[in-house]
Structure 1
Amino acid sequence: MRSEPDLEALRALMLIAQESSISAASGRLGVSQQAVSLRIRSLERSLGVRLLVRSARGSRLTPAGELVVGWARKLLEAADDFSDAVDSLRSDRARTMRIAASLTIAEYLLPEWIARWRARTDSSGPGIQLDAENSTAVAVAVREGTVDLGFIESPAVPADLGAVTIAHDTLAVVVQPGHRWAKSARITARELSDTSLVLREPGSGTRHAFEAALADTGCSPHASPVAVLSTTLGVRSAIMAGVAPGVLSSLAVAEDLRAGRLARVQVRGLTMTRPLTAIWAGASPSRHAHDFLDALA
């Protein structure tokens, strides 16, 4: 396996070519002449060719050294471009806090949370970039480091991530007002498990919490969903259109229940409460994420 070129040694060699002096090159690099000489000798051993001719009048490149400097120029320019890009990335990240949140939290809670945080920081904090995903995708984004902070609504919190419970939410079984369940005092968990419903997709916190709560009653879902939709709005619209009963966050249907567009169904022995959890990678959240969470306390 070939070794990678020593970029610092190549940079030193290029400066020696420009200055015709190891001393001048060492001054520009901010290191000792001995350190520069050692880098060049190491590079010569690595390449297997002599690169410099040293004399009392200075140092000059050998023909092989001239070739190496010519080839190294593009490589060093690319390395400088890479360093500039990384610096820009750090700067952008300092100006932006990236948050990923499950759909219910993103739609119904985060706008108020962001407003509270901005009021607390007097609008001096970084801007916020928000991605709305299901809870599983949020955990993946946090784990991969593409976001600084995540919010999920699943009962189970990934054990490899830091976490704190921010609030709690309840799920509601809802139907179109004309549905027969709307006229019932309550239904049984078994009747619910045997009914084809409109549900969110697997991986969503709502779907996970519903199935876990139903399983706790000993009535795991038996009927296949009549429809599986990837957004809260899609599930809500399908229920309202009379496609089938469904399960949604109480936050998502509160206005529809007040307006009579949907009816809530009581299920005997079924309690569907779930934590809303902030998650982050590492031992503690970043400084801005920590400040954001403090504003929610």
Structure 2
Amino acid sequence: MAAEPDLDAVRALTLAATGGSISAAAAHLGISQQAVSARIRALESSLDAVLLVRSARGSRLTTAGELVVGWAAPLLAAADDFAAATAALRTDRRGTVRVAASLTIAEHLMPAWVAAWRVSTGDDGPAIRLEAANSTAVIEAVRSGSADLGFVETPVAPGDLGSVVVARDAIVVVVPRGHPWATRGRVSAADLAATSLVVREVGSGTRQALEDALAHAGHGDFAAPAAVLSTTLAVRSAVMGGLAPGALSALAVADDIRAARLVPVPIRGLRIERPLTAVWLGAEPSATARKFLEVVAAVTASG
């Protein structure tokens, strides 16, 4: 029987990749950088593969590391679900708010929202049960009643659901520092449309916003993607690896741009902005969901 994976090590690797550095993973986990490095080295040793390349500019996944992080996503999600379920056995929380959120919102905004919710309601208040998926899947979860509240990135909210815009985001075209576009200045919308990009899957709000903007600018006949990947992390890694330019949420690449791991490319005559929208079934959200939206609004206003 194969050895079971070390969840602590797998989580450390995932956080180092997501945050772009060992220090980011250490800060998230509340442990030292040395402890994070030790966990990742132990995982590399157990798999007999180099997973993370470390440098003065940060850390990036190898091809093997990208595969491991991708395979680990459902494993870590299941572990988190298990922890939440067993926590419910130990506490008497008054109900649960079932929230489905698009991947960008779940990764970059939801942690602060949930933390503020816990401060607002206390440890014994209603729990937030989060499911992360693309915007299309989130909408279907709300329609089916499996989620009380959804957060999506689509340019237009579905007309059959109640909705409110909670924040705004932009889609940024990014390249690694050595790419010709990194020093070219502005690129035309026509050049962008003619270039094969690394993009998210169909159903992703990020991809829909990009394609809608190009079509609106008169470039609806765009090139076939260089790669279609199902996570923001995978798109970032592919772009950093030099596969092709990519289009990602400004929220998702802000740290990479600050650290010069990625370079934003202005597109002449094209600025892709989109609303981040809460959706629910019926005329009004439930009372608890409405209170959560009030917390979200307060966090957004303070940020």
TM-score tier by shorter-chain length is 0.5 to 0.7
Alignment partner, residue 100 of structure 2: 100
Distance 1:209 1:94 in 2: 38
Q: CA 1:247 to 1:135, structure 2 compared with 1: closer, same or farther past 3 Å?
A: same
CA deviation vs aligned residue, 1:197-228 (integer Å, no higher than 9, x gap): 00000100000111111112111242100100
Alignment partner, residue 213 of structure 1: 213
Alignment partner, residue 111 of structure 1: 111
- Percent identity among equivalent residues? 58
Alignment partner, residue 25 of structure 2: none
Cα drift, residue 132 of structure 1:
0.5
Are 2:235 and 1:225 aligned?
no
Distance 1:286 1:206 in 2: 28
Are 2:168 and 1:168 aligned?
yes
> Where does the alignment leave 5 or more consecutive residues of structure 1 unmatched?
1-91
Q: Contact 2:93/2:127 (CA < 8 Å) preserved in 1?
A: no
Alignment partner, residue 182 of structure 2: 182
Distance 1:239 1:221 in 2: 22
Q: CA 1:209 to 1:115, structure 2 compared with 1: closer, same or farther past 3 Å?
A: same
Are 2:255 and 1:255 aligned?
yes
Alignment partner, residue 120 of structure 1: 120
Alignment partner, residue 296 of structure 1: 296
Q: Contact 1:176/1:182 (CA < 8 Å) preserved in 2?
A: yes
Q: CA 1:142 to 1:93, structure 2 compared with 1: closer, same or farther past 3 Å?
A: farther
Are 2:129 and 1:129 aligned?
yes
Q: Contact 1:211/1:221 (CA < 8 Å) preserved in 2?
A: no
Give the SS at the match of 1:141: helix
Counterpart amino acid of residue 243 in structure 1: L
Cα drift, residue 97 of structure 1:
1.1
Give the SS at the match of 1:128: strand
Q: Contact 2:150/2:279 (CA < 8 Å) preserved in 1?
A: yes
Are 2:296 and 1:274 aligned?
no
Q: What is the total number of aligned residue pairs between the two structures?
A: 206
Counterpart amino acid of residue 231 in structure 2: T
Give the SS at the match of 1:129: strand
CA deviation vs aligned residue, 1:129-149 (integer Å, no higher than 9, x gap): 111000000000000000110
Q: CA RMSD in A?
A: 1.4
Q: CA 1:123 to 1:235, structure 2 compared with 1: closer, same or farther past 3 Å?
A: same
> Where does the alignment leave 5 or more consecutive residues of structure 2 unmatched?
1-91, 298-303
